[in-house]
């Protein structure tokens, strides 16, 4: 990307320059960082969009404040709101978006160093991204355990609880603690995998940030771990974090699905991307 140009919202030139950078083979280790905004077109609400976001639509749970539904201390005393919501959040009934397929395309081209996701919908895996390429920074519904004794809880019993909206308790009757899917609540530690991989942005030769408000730490710091020489692309409805503050930042302030189509087209990959998504 032309070093003399100041950071700018997307112009045809900077998209073209970024596509040239990729076509020249200078992006071999791409780190992708995503949030709920890449799954909204699949039908899953994000958290903070004013009208449609989850936090704007929890009135029926009469929470003290919206994020309490994912707060571990609130959950310990009031698990019902989460279990009311869990049925809607539980993965399995949504199709990955073309943005998820774009990440898989990067992997198929051998260009994906690592995907960091805040999402718990598992759509990245369903789109074909291998598990060893994904860091689920806020956990996932893949496993569940007792929040007191940490004993794991069987999947089929969890599915029954979610389906029937009852609150599962630890199978060890002497414990009888609350069971919770291993999604990271406010007040809980992120998985070790996050901290083990947190330095990867400094090894990347391109960072792509999509569909996140970058409002929750420590995930929100990831883009700032990129070296100054690393171009950082933001595809998001709004400008977020420190994106746009560096010389080689490129901002596509628009819908993720249209942004990835434009980038794929500029790289000559659009047909391949559409075909890949059609198979998902």
Q: Which of 135, 240, 250, 276 binds ligand APR (CB under 6 A)?
A: 240
Q: Which of 14, 101, 140, 236 binds ligand APR (CB under 6 A)?
A: 236
Three-state secondary structure string covering 163-218: HHCCCCECCCCCCCCEEEEEECCECCCCCHHHHHHCCHHHHCCEEEEECCCCCCCC
Residues between 61 and 120 with contacts to ligand APR, criterion CB under 6 A? 70, 118
Query: Where is the binding site for Zn(2+), in residues?
Result: 146, 149, 170, 175
Which is closer to ligand APR, CB of 144 or CB of 213?
213
Q: Which of 46, 71, 124, 182 binds ligand APR (CB under 6 A)?
A: 46
C-alpha torsion angle, residues 89, 90, 93, 96 (rounded to 10): 70
Which is closer to ligand APR, CB of 23 or CB of 52?
52
**Shortest gap between Cβ of 211 and ligand APR (angstroms)?**
4
- Checking 228-231 for CB contacts under 8 A at 24+ apart, the result is 230/201, 230/204, 230/205, 230/206, 231/1, 231/18, 231/21, 231/27, 231/206, 231/207
CB 169 within 8 A of CB 152: no
Greatest extent of the chain over all pairs of C-alpha atoms, in Å: 67
| Residue keyed to tokens 């004013």 | 50
**100, 138, 163, 169: which one is catalytic?**
138
CA distance 81 to 79: 6
**Shortest gap between Cβ of 64 and ligand APR (angstroms)?**
16
Which three-class secondary structure state does DSSP give residue 103? helix
- The structure tokens listed for 38 are 């890449």
138 binds ligand APR (CB under 6 A): yes
Which is closer to ligand APR, CB of 41 or CB of 84?
41
Compose the 180-219 pattern: x for residues touching ligand APR by CB under 6 A, - for all others. Answer: -------------------------------xxx-xx---
Q: Is 107 a catalytic residue?
A: no
CB 108 within 8 A of CB 122: no
Q: Where along the sequence are the contacts to ligand APR (CB under 6 A)?
A: 35-37, 40-41, 46-49, 53, 70, 118, 138, 211-213, 215-216, 236-238, 240, 255-256
Active site residues: 138
């Amino acid at each position: 990307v032309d070093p003399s140009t100041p950071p700018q919202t997307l112009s045809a030139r900077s998209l073209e320059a970024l596509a040239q950078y990729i076509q020249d083979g200078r992006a071999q280790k791409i780190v992708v960082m995503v949030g709920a905004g890449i799954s909204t077109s699949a039908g899953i609400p994000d958290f903070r969009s004013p009208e449609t976001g989850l936090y704007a639509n929890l009135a029926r749970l009469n929470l003290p404040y919206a994020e309490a539904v994912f707060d571990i201390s609130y959950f310990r005393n009031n698990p019902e709101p989460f279990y009311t919501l869990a049925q809607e959040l539980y993965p399995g009934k949504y199709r990955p978006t073309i943005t998820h397929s774009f990440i898989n395309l990067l992997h198929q081209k051998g260009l994906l160093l690592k995907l960091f996701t805040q999402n718990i919908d598992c759509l990245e895996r369903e789109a074909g991204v291998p598990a060893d390429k994904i860091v689920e920074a806020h956990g996932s519904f893949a496993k569940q355990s007792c929040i007191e004794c940490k004993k794991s809880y069987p999947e089929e019993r969890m599915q029954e609880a979610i389906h029937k909206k009852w609150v599962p308790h630890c199978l060890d009757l002497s414990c009888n603690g609350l069971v919770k899917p291993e999604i990271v609540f406010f007040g809980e530690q992120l998985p070790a995998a996050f901290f083990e991989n947190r330095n990867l942005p400094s090894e990347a030769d391109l960072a792509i940030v999509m569909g996140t408000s970058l409002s929750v730490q420590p995930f929100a710091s990831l883009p700032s771990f990129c070296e100054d020489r690393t171009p950082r692309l933001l595809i998001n409805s709004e400008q977020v974090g420190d994106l746009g503050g560096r010389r080689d930042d490129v901002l596509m302030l628009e819908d993720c699905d249209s942004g990835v189509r434009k980038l794929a087209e500029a790289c000559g990959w659009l047909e391949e991307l559409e075909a890949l998504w059609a198979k998902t």
